[in-house]
Amino acid sequence: DSGVTQTPKHLITATGQRVTLRCSPRSGDLSVYWYQQSLDQGLQFLIQYYNGEERAKGNILERFSAQQFPDLHSELNLSSLELGDSALYFCASSVVYTGTEAFFGQGTRLTVV
């Protein structure tokens, strides 16, 4: 157990819908990262937050947004979902914003039908 909690574990939804993925980082970790992993693909960086502020942005679609709350948990919002958004979404956390081990949650498997 990495100490990073993601909910839900599985999510099935229809095209055009909106979903919210939740991540609770390890106790004491200030940085949260979101990654997307499509079938047999690598880890695509989406966005990073550090202590409530956006720190870095990757290839995140405009239909996707995220935030980190004062209690440091983070939410990734995916809207106007398309079939191609089906993927495993990982959250990771680390103590600082870079240069230290990032611990991954178990992921949320999103299936868009």
Partner 1 sequence: GENVEQHPSTLSVQEGDSAVIKCTYSDSASNYFPWYKQELGKRPQLIIDIRSNVGEKKDQRIAVTLNKTAKHFSLHITETQPEDSAVYFCAASNNAGNMLTFGGGTRLMVKP
- Say which amino acid occupies 75: E
For residue 108, give the 3-state DSSP assignment. Answer: strand
Residue 30 lies near partner 1 (rule: CB under 8 A): no
Query: Measured on CA atoms in the order 95, 8, 42, 14, is the torsion positive or negative?
Result: negative
Token pair belonging to 47: 């966005």
CB of 79 to partner 1, least distance (A): 23
CB of 98 to partner 1, least distance (A): 5
Residue 104 lies near partner 1 (rule: CB under 8 A): yes
Would you give the binding string for partner 1 spanning residues 8-27, x where CB under 8 A is met? --------------------
**Span near partner 1 by CB under 8 A; candidates 15-23, 50-58, 60-68, 74-82:** 50-58
**Hey, which residues does 68 pair with through a beta bridge?**
74
What does each C-alpha distance from 31 to 20, 84, 101, 110, 112 come to in angstroms? 19, 28, 11, 23, 28
CB of 66 to partner 1, least distance (A): 13
Interface residues with partner 1 (CB under 8 A) are: 2, 33, 35, 42-43, 45, 48, 50, 55-56, 58, 90, 92, 97-107
